[in-house]
A and B are shown apart, each in its own frame.
Chain A
Amino acid sequence: MGRKSKQKQKIILPPELPPEVPEDEIEVSDEDLQFVNENVDYAGFVSGLDTTSITKHVTRVADLKEDALERLYERRLQKKKLKEEEEKEKEKERKIEVDRVDALPVKSLDGQVYYRTLAEKKGGDGEEEDGGGDKGIVRLTKTERRAKMKKSKKEAKKLGKQVENTEQVEATPQAAVLAEVKEDLTAEATFETKKRKLAELGIALLADPESNIKSLKEMLQFCLDGDDVLIKLGLLSLLAVFKDIIPGYRIRLPTEKELEMKVSKEVKKMRFYESTLLSVYKAYLQKLVLLEKKSKFQHVAVRCICTLLEAVPHFNFRESLLAAVVKNIGSQDDVIRKLSCSAIKSIFVNEGKHGGAATVEAVELIADHVKALNCQLHPDSVEVFMSLSFHEDLRKPGEPDKESKVKNKKNRKRKNAEEPSQLQESDRKRSKKELTAKMREEVTADYKSAVFTPDVKEQRKMQSDMLSALFETYFRILKHTMLSTAASSQANGTLVDGESGAHPLLAPCLNGLGKFTHFIDLDYMGDLMNYLKKLAGGGSNSDNSSEKCAKGLTVSERLQCCIVAFKVMRSNLDALNVDLQGFFVQLYNLILEYRPGRDEGEVLAEALKIMLCEDRQHDMQKAAAFVKRLATFSLCFGSAESMAALVTLKQLLQKNVKCRNLLENDAGGGSVSGSIAKFQPYATDPNLSGALASVLWELDLLCKHYQPAISTIASSISTMNTSHNQVYLSSTSPQQVFRDLSLEQESFNSKPDLRKSNNKRKRGSGPSTLATIEENLNSTGSLDEDELRKKLSNHFNLLRDFKENEKLRNELDRTTSALQLYEEYKKQKKKTARRGIKIGEKGV
C-alpha cells in the first residue's frame, strides 16, 4: 500500500495538476477496498495501530520521520524499477507494516479523525505526504530539486502508463465488481469526498501555509467547478484561508532587477510563497467579482468581498475590493447593503489597519457613486459617513510654515558654512558627499515607507482630500434636492406624490453636515447657508407656492435644515454673532405645519432647543411672537409636544423680561407693542405679527390640562412676575422633556388609577359626558375587560349617534333654508315681473 501511495504521490507532485487525478485515486482506492475486503482481519489491525500516529501528526513530529521515509523510498525507487503485479502485492503487504506506523489519519474540520474507510485514508495520506514531500524537496538546494522534479516527472509518467496498463489488466477480470462499486459511488458520495478534500486542503493550509501554498490553486479549482454548492463552499473556505494567511503587509512583487540578483534560498522561498499567494488571491478576487453579478452567488460573493475588505484592507487589490463594495452600498437587497455598509464603516473606524489611505479611497469612490447615480440611492450609503473621524489637531495651519522655515534656516546656515570650505575641497570629496547625501535621502524615504507612524503632512493631505470628497457629496445632494423640489413646484404639484421620495439622501446628508460643520471652509459657508435657507423654505421664496413645495420636503426635513444651519453657525462663527432671521421665519411657520403623527417630534424639540433656547439674544418682537405661537401650539397637540413647547416658552420668557407683558391681562401691550397695534395671528414674519399686543390666555386653559406636569408648568409660567427678574434658568431642555413625556405617555395609559385621581381632582366641574367616562373608568378596577369593552362601545356608539343626529339636523336646516330662499326668490321674481308688466303698461 505504501508503494502505491508512493506512486500516486509522484503523480500528484508536479504543480500542473492533471485533472484526472481524482479518478485515478478512486480507482486505486477501489482496488484497495477490494483488497481489504478480502483480508478482513487486516482492517482491524489498521485501526488498532493508528492511534499513536495521530498524536504524532498533531504535534507535527511525524514530519521528520516522514522525510526519512521519503528519502528511503526514493532511493529504492532509483534502485528498483517496476515489478510484476504479484510482487507488488507482496511488497505492499510487507511495506504496509512499515508504513502503518506513519500512516496518517485525516482530521476533518469538526475535529474527528478518519481512518476507517480506506478511500478517505488514501486521500488523506496522499495529501499529507504531498506536504511532507514538498518540505523535503524545499530543503534541498535548487538544482537538486530541479533534478529531482524532472526525475520524478519522468517516473510519474512511466508509472502512470504502467498503472493504467495494470489497471486495464485488472479491469477485465474484476469489471463486474468495479461497476458495482462505481454505482455505489453516487454523485452524493463524490460530492462528499470533494467536500472533504476541500476541508483537508484548507486545514493543511492553515496548519502550515508556507509549505502548502500550492494547494491554494487546488482550492481555487473547486470554485471553478460546476456544482453551485461546491462553488460556494470553495469560496467560503478560501475566504477563511485567506483571512488567516494574508500577511500584515502589502506584497510587492520583485522587479526584474531584483530577480536577477542572487538571493538566499530563504528569500527565494519567500518570494515564491508571496507570488503564489498573490496570483491566487488575484484570481480569487476576479472570480468573486464575476460571481457577484450572478444572482445565485451574489450573497456569498458579497459576503466574501466584505469580509476580506474588513479583514485585510492593507493588502494588495484593495481598490477592486473597495470598488465592488461601494457598488453595493446602495443595493436594494437589505442583506447585501448592510454587509457593504458595515464593511465600509469598519474601514472608516479602523484606520490603523491601513493607515487611512483606504478611507480616502472609499470616500472618493462613494462620492463618485453618488454622482453617477444622481443621488438616487438608499440613505444608508451616505449614512456611513457618520462613522468617519477626523483629527482636529492636524488642522493647525501654522505648523507646516514653521517646519519649512526651520528647514530653510538650517539649510541657509549649512550653505553659509559650506561655501568657504567648498572651495578648498577637492572634486572627489564633493562627489562623495553628494553620494552620501543621496544615500541618506534614500534611507529616509525607505524609513518613511517602513515606519508605522504616518507622516503628519501626508495625513493632512489625505484628510483634506477626504473632506473635499465628503463635502462634494453633501453639496451635490443638497443641490440635487433643491433642483428636484424646484422642478416639482414648477410641475404644478401634479407629481408631488412621486416627488416626495426623490431625495432619499437628504436626511443623512443633513445629519452629516451637522456633525462635520466645523470642517467646512468659510468660503463655502455662504453658499451652504443659501442652500439651506432655500430648502428650509421648501425650495421657493414666495409665500404662495411654499405650501405646494412643503409636500416635496417634509416638515421634519425642513426643520432639520434649520437645525443644521444653526449648528453651522454655532460651530464656526463664535467671533461674529449672526442673526439667522430667515430661519426663524421658517421655524415660525413650520410650527403651524407640524402634525404629530406625520412628523418627528424629536426633530421639532431639537429645533426648539437649538434655535430658541440656546440662542443668546432675541428681538423682543420675535421672542413675543414665538411665545404666543408656542402657547397656541401647545394647546393643539399631544402632551409631549406641548410640554416641549412650554419649556421653550418658559425659557424665552425668563430671558426676555419685556415679553412678560404678555402675561398681563390687558390687550394692546402698552408702550412696548411697537408700531403694530394689533395681533395678527396669520402673519408669516414673527417681527410683523404684533404679538406683544396679545395676551397669553392659552396658559389659563393649559393649567387645566389632564397631564399633571403640563398643568404645573403652565401655572408656574402664568405666575411669573413682570418686575421680578428671575436669574434662575431651568436646566431641562425641550428635547429631554419631549422624550420623557412620550415615554411616560406609553406607560401612562397602563396606569388607570393615577389618571383617575388626577381627573377627579381637576375635572370636578367637567361636562356630563366626561363624568360618565370617569364612572366607567372608576368601575374598571373591579370589572373585567369584556364588560369594559362593552361599555366603551356603548358609549362610543352613543357619541356617534349624537354626531349623526347633529349632522342630519344640520342638513335639514340647510335644506329648509334653501327652500325658504327659493320661495323668497320666487316671490321677488313674481313681483318684478308684475312691476315689469306695470311699467310696460305705463309705457304703453
Chain B
Amino acid sequence: MRPLEEKEMGEVFKKLMLFTGNNLKNIIESPSHEGPDPNPGRYCFRLHKNKVFYISESLVRRATNISRKNLVSLGTCIGKFTHRGDFRLTTQSLNLLAANAKNKVWLKPTSEMSFLYGNHVLKGGLGKITDSINQNDGVIVFSMSDVPLGFGTAARSTQDCRKCDPNGIVVHHYSDIGEYLRDEDDL
C-alpha cells in the first residue's frame, strides 16, 4: 500500500472530474468521522495491488499494522490501473460518484433491467435527464426512485436527445451494479 504518484493522481482525478465536475472538491475535502479521534480527519487515495482505494486517514494508520501480503482490501475501492497504466473506475465507486454527480439520468422502471445487464441506455428508456449535458460527459444513471444503478458516458447532448429516435443510444454503458453478480470473481 502506498500513496499515488503524481501521474497516477492526475489519471484518477481526470476520471473523477469527468463524472463529478466541480464537486470533486467535496470528495477530497469531505471530513471523515471515523476512528477515535475527536477531530475529523480527511479521506485520501491509496494504491494497493493496482487497485485505488478511497480511505479515511485514521483507517490508513491502522491498516499499516497488517503486512502488505495479507492485506486484501481497505476503505472503498474506486478503481484500478490496467497493465497499460490507464485508470479505470469500478462499480464500487458508484456511491461516491452518485453523491457528487454532475449529470444525471433517470431510467424508467422497464429499462432498468436492460441497463443492469450491461446494455447501453436508449432514449426510450429515459425517464428524466439533466439539462445541458454535453457529448462524452460522464453521467450517473439512477432508477426513478433515486437508487444509483451505474454510470456511463453521454453518447449525445441533451439537445440532441430531443431529436433522436427512441432507439438511439443516449448513454454508453461504463459500469453498473449488475457487475457485483456478473463479475463477482474479478471484483
- Residue positions of A touching B, CB distance < 8 A: 522, 525-526, 529-530, 533, 569, 573, 575-582, 617, 619-620, 674-677, 685, 688
Contacts of A526 in B (CB 8 A): 132, 157-159
- Complex CA gap A677/B30 in Å reads 10
Residue in A533, A675, A676 whose CB lies within 8 Å of B132 = A533
Also in contact, A579 and B128, with CB within 8 A (given A619-B146, A677-B33):
yes
* Contact indicator A577/B26 (Cβ below 8 Å): no
- Complex CA gap A529/B134 in Å reads 14
- Complex CA gap A575/B99 in Å reads 27
A625 to chain B, nearest CB (A): 14
Given A522-B163, A529-B131, A677-B33, 15 additional A-B pairs, CB 8 A: A526-B158, A529-B132, A530-B132, A569-B131, A576-B126, A576-B129, A577-B128, A577-B129, A578-B130, A579-B128, A581-B104, A581-B130, A582-B131, A617-B144, A619-B146
Contacts of A676 in B (CB 8 A): 99
B23 within 8 A of A: yes
Also in contact, A617 and B128, with CB within 8 A (given A525-B159, A576-B161):
yes
* Contact indicator B146/A620 (Cβ below 8 Å): yes
* Contact indicator B162/A573 (Cβ below 8 Å): yes
B87 to chain A, nearest CB (A): 22
- Complex CA gap A576/B105 in Å reads 11
Contacts of A576 in B (CB 8 A): 123, 126, 129, 161-162
Total count of chain B residues near the partner, CB < 8 A: 26
- Majority secondary structure of chain B interface residues (helix, strand, loop or mixed): mixed
* Contact indicator B131/A579 (Cβ below 8 Å): yes
Sorted nearest first, the 4 A-B pairs with minimum C-beta distance are A675-B99, A526-B159, A577-B128, A578-B131
Within B78-98, which residues are at the interface with A (CB < 8 Å)?
95-96
- Complex CA gap A719/B152 in Å reads 42
Contacts of B95 in A (CB 8 A): 675
B75 within 8 A of A: no
A89 to chain B, nearest CB (A): 96
B178 within 8 A of A: no
* Contact indicator A579/B99 (Cβ below 8 Å): no
B41 within 8 A of A: no
B127 within 8 A of A: yes
Which residue of chain B lies nearest to A524 when distances are taken between CB atoms in the complex? Answer: B159
- Complex CA gap A575/B131 in Å reads 14
* Contact indicator B131/A674 (Cβ below 8 Å): no
Contacts of A617 in B (CB 8 A): 106, 128, 144
Contacts of A577 in B (CB 8 A): 106, 126-129
A671 to chain B, nearest CB (A): 13
B27 to chain A, nearest CB (A): 10
B28 to chain A, nearest CB (A): 14
- Complex CA gap A581/B127 in Å reads 15
Contacts of B128 in A (CB 8 A): 577-579, 617
Which of A530, A576, A582 lies at the interface centre, i.e. has the most chain B CB atoms within 10 A of its CB?
A: A576
Q: What are 9 sample pairs from A and B whose C-beta atoms fall under 8 A apart?
A: A525-B159, A525-B162, A578-B129, A578-B130, A579-B129, A579-B130, A582-B131, A617-B128, A674-B99
A222 to chain B, nearest CB (A): 63
Contacts of A579 in B (CB 8 A): 104, 106, 128-131
Which residue of chain A lies nearest to B105 when distances are taken between CB atoms in the complex? Answer: A579
Binary flags per residue of B121-162, CB closer than 8 Å to A gives 1, else 0: 001001111111000000000001010000000000111011
* Contact indicator A580/B144 (Cβ below 8 Å): no
Which residue of chain B lies nearest to A542 when distances are taken between CB atoms in the complex? Answer: B22
A456 to chain B, nearest CB (A): 27
Contacts of A575 in B (CB 8 A): 162
- Complex CA gap A522/B163 in Å reads 9
* Contact indicator A582/B132 (Cβ below 8 Å): yes
Which residue of chain A lies nearest to B26 when distances are taken between CB atoms in the complex? Answer: A688
A382 to chain B, nearest CB (A): 26
Which residue of chain A lies nearest to B133 when distances are taken between CB atoms in the complex? Answer: A578
* Contact indicator A522/B162 (Cβ below 8 Å): yes
Which residue of chain A lies nearest to B170 when distances are taken between CB atoms in the complex? Answer: A576
Within B158-182, which residues are at the interface with A (CB < 8 Å)?
158-159, 161-163
- Complex CA gap A39/B99 in Å reads 113
B3 to chain A, nearest CB (A): 24
Contacts of B99 in A (CB 8 A): 674-676
Contacts of A529 in B (CB 8 A): 131-132
Which of A526, A579, A619, A620 lies at the interface centre, i.e. has the most chain B CB atoms within 10 A of its CB?
A: A579
Within B52-109, which residues are at the interface with A (CB < 8 Å)?
95-96, 99-100, 104, 106
- Complex CA gap A577/B159 in Å reads 12
A531 to chain B, nearest CB (A): 12
Contacts of B131 in A (CB 8 A): 529, 569, 578-582
Contacts of A578 in B (CB 8 A): 128-131, 158
B99 to chain A, nearest CB (A): 4
